[in-house]
Structure 1
């Protein structure tokens, strides 16, 4: 499984009282429910909510949208803000909680599992561009060299000799570019993903 696979957000049609609902989707990340996107009953507008069990809600975590595409964009922006704040412990607690949830109707789990999971359209908040630029991670007077493998308006993937010792927040300086404040979103072997703050 690649880093991109681990960060993919999927949509699954919601099943309520054993019935699949049109224009109503559970949002999943690593199999963990992280929110909902749905069309409001008897209304042309849509609604979205982004939340992880055990995490405090903030005003920007939910709201109305004008259509399905607008919901996805708003959801992605909220997730880009929330995802870097999740620790592995918080993710494990949310996963444990999700496993304890039982369906209210017999067969609801099987029906939901059979529904095809679709990838949230362009699940990144901004389009990613593959690059190969040298950069440096700067923090508390220390500097670590890195390679920028891809970049967007909201974040980047960096290749480093080792992710050990790199703090959760730092300044990223890309050659030929300005410095950007970053927060780590994920760490995998010799690669880290960062969100620009």
Structure 2
């Protein structure tokens, strides 16, 4: 995860998730109904429809990371394998920052 930068500015509690050099998601602090803190998360790939299961809200950053990880694992399972330089087929490993 990296801090999200928009127009050269960052906001506390706003993160972009990077995979293989590509921004694949975002986790950010929001305000829920009743004024309670919540965390919004989403994962997606360019030009790939995003099902509702690949976005949501959680009560904490750790819960948002866990929900994101589950959705990202599902999305990764739909990606085709690509050749590895060693001759094997594999997917590029999931973002290590979510560990």
Shorter-chain TM-score bucket reads 0.7 to 0.9
- Alignment coverage as a number of residue pairs: 86
Q: Is 1:75 matched with 2:65?
A: no
Unaligned runs of at least 5 residues, structure 2? 92-99
Q: Could you state the TM-score of these two structures normalised by the residue count of structure 2? A: 0.76
Structure 2 partner of 1:60: 53
Aligned residue for 1:162? none
C-alpha distance in structure 1 between counterparts of 2:8 and 2:36, whole Å: 23
Indicate the SS of the match to 2:37.
Answer: coil
> How much does 1:187 deviate?
4.8
> Among 11, 14, 17, which residue is 2:7 paired with?
17
Alignment of 1:1-197 (within 5 A): 11-41=1-31, 43-87=36-80, 187-188=83-84, 189-190=87-88, 192=90
Residue pair 1:40, 1:46 contacting (<8 A) in 2 also: yes
| Structure 2 counterpart of 1:107 | none
Larger Rg: 1
Aligned CA RMSD, in angstroms, stands at: 1.9
CA distance in 2, matches of 1:17, 1:191: 39
Instruction: Point out which structure has higher relative CO (alpha carbons under 8 A, 6+ apart).
Output: 2
Query: TM-score w.r.t. structure 1 length?
Result: 0.40
Judged with a 3 Å threshold, the aligned counterparts in structure 2 of structure 1 residues 191 and 51 are, in CA distance, closer, same or farther, namely: closer
